[in-house]
Amino acid sequence: MIGLLMAAVRESIQTTKSVFSGAFRQSQIESTLFDRLVLYGCVGLTLFFVLFPFYWMVVTSIIPSTELYRLPPAVIPTEFTFDHFREIMDAQVPFYIYFFNSFVVAVISSAMAVGISIFGAYSFARLEYPGRAFMVRGVLLSYMIAGILMVVPIFQIVVWLGLVDTLTSVVLTHFIFTIPLGLYLLGNYFRSIPKEIEEAGLIDGYSRVEVLLRITIPMSVPAIVAVFLYSFLLSWNEYLYASIFLNTQELYTLPIGIEFLQFEFDDVWGEIMAASMLTTIPVVIMFLYLEKYMMAGLSFGSMD
């Protein structure tokens, strides 16, 4: 796990380095010191705004609560403790239960989204049938509707299906909300693959489904990974529906679990930040790991 993380970090540092050296190779000729200062200044400011909340999260999770309320606040902490982590793991419902629930929900719903999107998007991109244009637009339209508007109808459906207070209801809902973008992204990606490559497969003796599985999908790994990541993140962070459908504490997913911490602990910020840390880390690792697949396919060259 640590090795993987290190490798991923090293890789992204390498990417960052090459991007920067690329930017400056160009500016070596034309830029003045002032130009470079402005550029570095902007980059630094952006990084500060983006990263400071994360930094504060990390700090809060590893300092004693007493330190947290000191005035003026200590930007660089001097005392460290892992008590917050220990406490959330020793709680009445240990934190890893939420973690497990979220993981199950996110993996199943995004796997479903990817699987269905592949076939749906392929039909949008390549097959001719009546009503296709209507469906393509309809899918996008459904993506435009705000989630909160769908709470009541979806809740009614969940009640009707008898799925209230089950993880299945959350899986289905997350799946419903991720599939339009999956269809849209993959549809566009499939359209960008030259038709001739698939036709070559047909002529080489393979059926359409075989061509899809053996040629189109392997060529679309970047888009498929992107759809999976997007679905996973959406599901991992989704709060609204999970909070409405789930009542039993043992079934809570991470976002509700974190919220629930404040009912269990008094001086709650350290615990919440520790929980947030644990929620963030797997997503970061996964992103660092899968990122290279998203880039890998972009330099294909079968065609002139």
Partner 1 sequence: MSNKNTEYGVELRNVTKRFGDLTAVDDIDLAVRDGEFLVLLGPSGCGKTTTLRMIAGLEVPTDGTIEMHGSDVTEKLPQKRDLSMVFQNYALYPHKTVEDNLRFPLGKMDITEEEATEKVEYATELLGIEDLLDKKPGQLSGGQRQRVALGRTIVREPNLFLMDEPLSNLDAKLRVNTRSELKDLQQQLGTTTVYVTHDQEEAMSIADRIVIMDDGQIQQIGTPQEVYKNPANEFVASFLGEPGMNFVQTAASSNGSVHAQITEPVDLEVSVEGDVPHSKVGVRPQDVWVGPGNSPGAPRDNGYVEISKMRLETIDPLGHSYELRLERGDHSIIALSDDVPGQVGDEVDVAFNRSSIHVFGENTEALSVKP
Residues that bind partner 1 (CB under 8 A): 194, 196-197, 199-207, 215, 218-219, 297, 299-304
Based on CB atoms, which residue is closest to partner 1, 93 or 200? 200
Q: How far is the CB of 211 from partner 1 (least distance, A)?
A: 9
Q: What one-character DSSP code corresponds to residue 252?
A: -
Q: What one-character DSSP code corresponds to residue 302?
A: S
| d(C-alpha 155, C-alpha 273), whole Å | 31
| d(C-alpha 84, C-alpha 268), whole Å | 9
Q: How far is the CB of 217 from partner 1 (least distance, A)?
A: 10
Q: How far is the CB of 82 from partner 1 (least distance, A)?
A: 46
The 3-class SS string of 12-77 reads: HHHHHHHHHHHHHHHHHHHCCHHHHHHHHHHHHHHHHHHHHHHHHHHHHHHCCHHHHCCCCCCCCC
Q: How far is the CB of 8 from partner 1 (least distance, A)?
A: 23
- CA nearest to 241, candidates 144, 176, 161, 180: 176
Q: What one-character DSSP code corresponds to residue 82?
A: -
| d(C-alpha 87, C-alpha 169), whole Å | 30
Q: How far is the CB of 190 from partner 1 (least distance, A)?
A: 14
Distance of CA 285 to the CA centre of its chain: 11
Based on CB atoms, which residue is closest to partner 1, 148 or 203? 203
In this structure, what token pair is assigned to residue 25? 């190779």
Based on CB atoms, which residue is closest to partner 1, 262 or 302? 302
Based on CB atoms, which residue is closest to partner 1, 61 or 216? 216
Q: How far is the CB of 294 from partner 1 (least distance, A)?
A: 15
Q: What one-character DSSP code corresponds to residue 272?
A: H
Based on CB atoms, which residue is closest to partner 1, 115 or 194? 194
| d(C-alpha 125, C-alpha 48), whole Å | 42
**Single-letter code of the amino acid located at 161:** L
Based on CB atoms, which residue is closest to partner 1, 57 or 294? 294
